[in-house]
Amino acid sequence: MPNSTKLYGARTGNCFRVSIALEEAGIAYEVHVVDLGEGEQRSPEYIRLNPAGKVPTLIDHANPEAPFVLSQSCAIMLWAMARAPGRLAPIEEGPLRDRVLERFFYFVTDVIARSHAAFALRRAGASIDAANTLDRLAVEALTAGARFVSNAPFMAGDHFSIADIAAFTIASAYQADLAWAGLPELGRWYKSVAERPAVKRGLGAFDLSNSR
């Protein structure tokens, strides 16, 4: 039976957050690699799917008569979280789940958003100083996030969650900028996440051999 979930994406942080979330959630999906270098995200077929011309995009064909299209990496992560109770956040509403969302949005807004803004400034040919400042602020916030794993194995406590996925993909992007020698707990956390089989599979999701 064909997969009812299709994921359009490429080897970017936004897409890896989604592929790792789907893998950790145990949701089967079919990958379609979008060739960003060739501008495939701006092709008429893709724009029909996602008018913003960005990756990732997920299509849920669970109801074949009304396929549900979802863009925005964080929305897709929350979609996966809702379909895999307990795997990406605690099942029950309450403080433990609230903590997951607090840490998830910390990495999304205080680290990832700054990093994206720096990228956008560079692409627009704007001030390099401004872009460098945003990157520095992002790395500072990421470094400050090390306190979350000083007394716990994962970013939001005892269990792996979407907060770890958000933190891991951006820590990976800033690997060369982090002062790892002074961040042993962050290093231990990073290694443990990188070794998770689902994380490894998610990172390989957009390799051409896995694509349709």
- Positions touching ligand GSH (CB under 6 A) are 12, 14, 36, 41, 53-56, 72-74
Nearer to ligand GSH, 38 or 195 (CB): 38
Question: Minimum distance from CB of 86 to ligand GSH (Å)?
Answer: 25
Nearer to ligand GSH, 71 or 133 (CB): 71
Nearer to ligand GSH, 57 or 143 (CB): 57
Nearer to ligand GSH, 5 or 14 (CB): 14
Nearer to ligand GSH, 53 or 187 (CB): 53
Question: Minimum distance from CB of 32 to ligand GSH (Å)?
Answer: 13
Nearer to ligand GSH, 74 or 134 (CB): 74
How large is the greatest C-alpha to C-alpha distance in the chain, in angstroms?
54
* DSSP helix/strand/coil, 59: strand
Question: Minimum distance from CB of 73 to ligand GSH (Å)?
Answer: 4
Using H for helix, E for strand and C for coil, what is the string for 102-170?
HHHHHHHHHHHHHHHHHHHHHHCCCCHHHHHHHHHHHHHHHHHHHHHHCCCCECCECCCCHHHHHHHHH
Question: Any bridge partners for residue 6, and if so which?
Answer: 30, 59
With 0-12 CB in 10 A as exposed, 13-18 as middle and 19+ as buried, what is 102?
middle
Q: In what order do the strands lie in the sheet with 30-33?
A: 30-33, 5-9, 57-60, 68-71
And the tokens for 7?
């994921």
Give the residue among 25, 55, 16 at the shortest CA–CA distance from 172: 16
Owner of token pair 């956040």: 89
Question: Minimum distance from CB of 40 to ligand GSH (Å)?
Answer: 9
Question: Minimum distance from CB of 15 to ligand GSH (Å)?
Answer: 7
Question: Minimum distance from CB of 34 to ligand GSH (Å)?
Answer: 8
d(CA 21, CA 165): 7
